[in-house]
């Protein structure tokens, strides 16, 4: 009712008070849902309130959280990287092979991150220089990198890693149930959030996602920007591969198989539009935690993995449908306003409603 | 109005989500009654974690486990990933530790990869029993071994000797040439032949690489190169099924004996049509049953997993813990036309 009293020339995003624009968003909906899931689980699921739950949950979602950061940036520019989990597997195998060959662990880890970076660069090259669609490119490299990883190590596993590093990967911040990897994640998340939301580079990503021709004409080097994102995604995936290896003390070619879908699902659930140009990191983080918490609570409640998959899938569909539904309602509403304004102009008096 | 409608949409989405969560959590009252109750004061909540769910072999073994848990009055639960990967088992081990179950009975997808998770569960005082596939012995309290290599070798030689009448040429259709367990069995079979059946001659060992078509072709080649062949042993489930398929359509059906290690579902039609008289494997239901009783004995503190400890396992009788904290189920189980319909795996 208040909106109709506003002056005629209002910009759509500012047609509502600031608090409402801040609070009534996809991101806050996901955060509220996360809080609800946590509360409901605390009340109804036995043992959910134990500190072990927090530790295990955060440990397990850490690789997903890490990779979700660059994935958000990529999806915002209306591209996608399906090869991330294969890069995790490849980096894991590289870490294992080099550590087994006697290289000091930090060097092996560094090499694995480098391999991840190169893999990301390869994706970026095919997408930006050759000009192929990222969906096709990364479906190809998903198979390619996974194939190399399994080929390098066969069906065997390398399980002997320096205890110092494996303990560090599993260690908690002293006095809390929170794994130390979360410190690193918090720093990375902060950097990514600042870059995405408060720098010209970040704004250019939204511009590319909304309209890449317009972005190019505004002086943004679209190809170079996208190339950087794929390299970044490869590097973070490589690092996640090292972490994954240490967490499970295990380097295998099939590590993190299928994780790309979990990551993309969480990013979309977090309110990032698959069509680009829309999304925020706090929503994505809440999305990852929501899926993780839901899985953890349901497992604790003794629900089988099939049912958990069904519920996660339904949740994702519901979130996508609700976005489309909202967009459709808004469009209808705008059309209605337009028609009414047209009548208003003719009659020069406000129409009753 | 604008705001109201949007809010309505958001709320609809939220309500849907909450409904999903509620639906998901609805069943937990019946499912998590495990906690600390059960028998006297011991924690008899036993969770079975197979390599993957929806696998008939583990359905059979876990049904045996459920039967045992019911007998000793504990609470039984079965969890597991849909795909058999080691890292996917870890979250279920963690969940069991969080739930504080009394014992976890697990078939490991990797001997090392789940070790750390098992160690953490043990420090949360969960007893760990492995069955079917062991982990590194340091990571668990007890391993239930389905069969000893000697037992497997002996039962197959006994079966073939009986089927060919104690003398003649036989051949072995194995998996791959460097399969450790297969080669160990073949070596023991040769020793057993030399010791107990000097009239039986092992003329050739061929390798079907656990591939259906290769095993099929190797069987055909065996019968051509050795026209006097009276029997084939295939100590691999893929091999025996492929060999049976070849024999059942060839003129050698009934005249060349076939035995080895197979599963009832794969072998049923060949036992019924007379191609195969009897074959061996262990009984997964007994394996799960024994594992559950071992878990109970550990949880009550009756045994600690030391060599020489003994415990009762219901209808299977008394068992003793052997070296490396392992318990042997017993002699392999022989399947024939009389009992094959009792099994579905």
Domain boundaries, chain B: 32-146+284-330, 149-281
Max Cα-Cα span within chain B: 96
Task: Mark yes or no for CB contact A315/B20 under 8 Å.
Answer: yes
Compare all CA atoms of chain B with the CA of A249 and give the residue at the minimum distance: B113
3-state secondary structure of A28: helix
Structural domains in chain A plus CATH codes: 14-303 (1.10.3470)
Q: Is the pTM of this model over 0.90?
A: no
Q: Which stretch of DSSP H or E encloses residue A287?
A: helix A281-300
Candidates B221, B262, B228, B226; CA nearest to B244 is B262
Domain B32-146+284-330 and domain B149-281 have a common topology: yes
* Least confident piece of the model among A129-143, A214-228, A291-305, B58-72: A291-305
Strand partners, B131: B144
Q: In a structure prediction context, what are the per-residue pLDDT tens digits for chain B, which is 345 residues long?
A: 444 444 444 444 444 444 444 444 433 333 333 344 434 567 899 999 998 888 888 999 999 999 999 999 999 999 988 877 778 889 899 999 988 899 999 998 888 888 889 999 999 999 999 998 888 899 999 999 988 889 999 999 999 999 999 899 999 999 888 777 888 899 999 999 999 999 999 999 999 988 899 999 999 999 999 999 999 999 998 899 999 999 999 988 889 999 999 999 999 999 999 999 999 999 999 999 999 999 999 999 999 988 999 999 999 999 999 988 999 999 899 999 999 999 888
Asked if B53's CB is within 8 angstroms of A301's CB, the reply is no
Contact criterion met (CB < 8 Å) for A252 and B116: no
Residue A305 has its nearest CB partner, among B18, B23, B53, at B53
**CB pair distance less than 8 Å for A303 and B7:** no
The three-class DSSP label of residue B296 is helix
Closest CA to B311 of B103, B38, B151: B103
Q: Is B183 exposed, middle or buried (0-12, 13-18, 19+ CB in 10 A)?
A: middle
Closest CA relative to residue B68, chosen from B315, B303, B344, B304: B315
**pLDDT exceeds 90 at position A327:** no
Instruction: Kindly give the interhelix angle for B149-164 and B180-196, rounded to the nearest 10 degrees.
Output: 50
Q: At the top level of CATH, which class does the domain B32-146+284-330 belong to?
A: alpha beta
Q: For residue B103, count CB atoms less than 10 angstroms from its CB and return exposed for 0-12, middle for 13-18, buried for 19 or more.
A: buried
**Where are the alpha helices (H) located in chain B, listed in sequence order?**
2-25, 28-31, 56-71, 86-99, 115-123, 149-164, 180-196, 212-225, 237-249, 264-272, 284-299
Give the C-alpha separation, A316 to B63, whole Å: 35
Q: What is the pLDDT of residues A158-183, one digit of tens each?
A: 888 998 998 899 899 999 999 999 99
Query: Do the beta carbons of residue A233 and residue A74 sit within 8 Å?
Result: yes
The CATH number of the structural domain formed by B149-281 is 3.40.50.2300
Residues on chain B touching A41 (C-beta within 8 angstroms) = 25
Cα(A139)–Cα(A42) distance, integer angstroms: 40
> Which candidate in A49, A96, A300 is best for mutational testing of the B interface (most B CBs within 10 A)?
A300
pLDDT at A2 over 60: no
Interface of A with B in 178-217 (CB under 8 A): none
> Which pLDDT value is given to residue A15?
63
């Amino acid at each position: 009712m208040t909106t109709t009293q506003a002056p005629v020339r209002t910009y759509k995003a500012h047609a509502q008070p600031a608090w409402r624009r801040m609070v009534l968003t996809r991101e806050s909906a996901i955060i509220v849902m996360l809080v609800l899931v946590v509360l409901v689980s605390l009340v109804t699921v036995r043992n959910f309130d134990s500190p072990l739950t927090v530790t295990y949950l955060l440990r397990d979602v850490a690789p997903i959280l890490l990779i979700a950061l660059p994935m958000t940036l990529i999806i915002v520019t209306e591209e996608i990287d399906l090869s991330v989990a294969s890069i995790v597997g490849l980096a894991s195998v590289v870490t294992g092979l080099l550590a087994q060959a006697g290289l000091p662990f930090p060097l092996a880890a560094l090499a694995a991150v480098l391999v991840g970076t190169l893999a990301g660069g390869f994706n970026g090259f095919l997408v930006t220089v050759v000009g192929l669609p990222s969906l096709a490119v990364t479906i190809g490299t998903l198979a390619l990198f996974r194939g190399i990883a399994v080929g390098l190590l066969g069906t065997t596993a390398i399980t002997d890693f320096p205890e110092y590093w494996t303990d560090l990967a599993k260690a908690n911040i002293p006095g809390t149930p929170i794994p130390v990897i979360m410190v690193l994640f918090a720093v990375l998340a902060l950097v990514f959030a600042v870059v995405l939301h408060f720098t010209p580079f970040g704004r250019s990503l939204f511009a590319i996602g909304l309209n890449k021709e317009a972005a190019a004409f505004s002086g943004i080097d679209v190809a170079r920007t996208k190339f950087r994102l794929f390299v970044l995604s490869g590097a973070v995936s490589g690092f996640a591969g090292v972490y994954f290896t240490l967490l499970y003390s295990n380097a295998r070619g099939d590590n993190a198989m299928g994780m790309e879908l979990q990551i993309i699902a969480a990013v979309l659930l977090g309110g990032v539009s698959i069509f680009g140009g829309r999304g925020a990191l706090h929503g994505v983080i809440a999305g990852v935690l929501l899926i993780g918490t839901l899985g953890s609570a349901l497992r604790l409640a003794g629900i089988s993995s099939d049912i958990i998959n069904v519920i996660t899938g339904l949740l994702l569909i519901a979130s996508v449908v609700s976005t489309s539904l909202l967009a459709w309602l808004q469009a209808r509403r705008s059309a209605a306003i337009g028609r009414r304004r047209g009548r208003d102009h003719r009659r020069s008096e406000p129409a009753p409603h | 109005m604008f705001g109201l409608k949007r809010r309505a949409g958001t709320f609809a989405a939220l309500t849907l989500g909450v409904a999903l969560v509620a639906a998901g959590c609805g069943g937990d009252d019946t499912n998590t009654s495990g906690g600390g109750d059960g028998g006297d004061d011991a924690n008899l909540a036993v969770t079975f974690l197979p390599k993957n769910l929806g696998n008939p072999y583990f359905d059979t073994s876990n049904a045996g486990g459920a039967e045992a848990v019911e007998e000793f009055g504990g609470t039984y639960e079965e969890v597991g990933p849909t795909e058999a990967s080691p890292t996917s088992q870890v979250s279920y081990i963690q969940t069991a530790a969080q739930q504080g179950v009394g014992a976890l009975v697990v078939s490991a997808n990797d001997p090392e990869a789940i070790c750390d998770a098992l160690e953490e569960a043990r420090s949360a005082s969960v007893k760990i029993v492995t069955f079917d596939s062991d982990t590194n012995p340091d990571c668990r309290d007890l391993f239930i071994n389905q069969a000893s290599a000697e037992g497997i070798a002996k039962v197959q030689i006994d079966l073939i000797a009986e089927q060919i009448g104690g003398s003649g040429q036989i051949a072995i259709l194995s998996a791959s040439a460097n399969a450790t367990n297969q080669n160990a069995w073949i070596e023991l079979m040769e020793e057993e032949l030399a010791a107990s059946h000097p009239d039986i001659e092992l003329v050739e060992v061929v390798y079907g690489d656990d591939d259906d078509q290769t095993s099929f072709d190797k069987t055909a080649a065996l019968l051509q190169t050795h026209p006097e062949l009276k029997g084939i042993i295939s100590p691999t489930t893929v091999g025996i099924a492929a060999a049976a398929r070849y024999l059942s359509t060839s003129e050698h059906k009934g005249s060349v004996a076939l035995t080895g290690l197979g599963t009832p579902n794969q072998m049923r039609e060949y036992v019924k049509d007379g191609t195969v008289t009897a074959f061996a494997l262990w009984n997964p239901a007994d394996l799960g049953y024994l594992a559950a009783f071992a878990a109970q004995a550990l949880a009550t503190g009756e045994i600690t997993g030391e060599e020489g400890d003994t415990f009762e396992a219901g209808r299977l009788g008394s068992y003793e813990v052997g070296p490396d904290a392992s318990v042997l189920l017993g002699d392999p189980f022989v399947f024939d036309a009389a009992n094959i319909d009792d099994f579905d795996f």
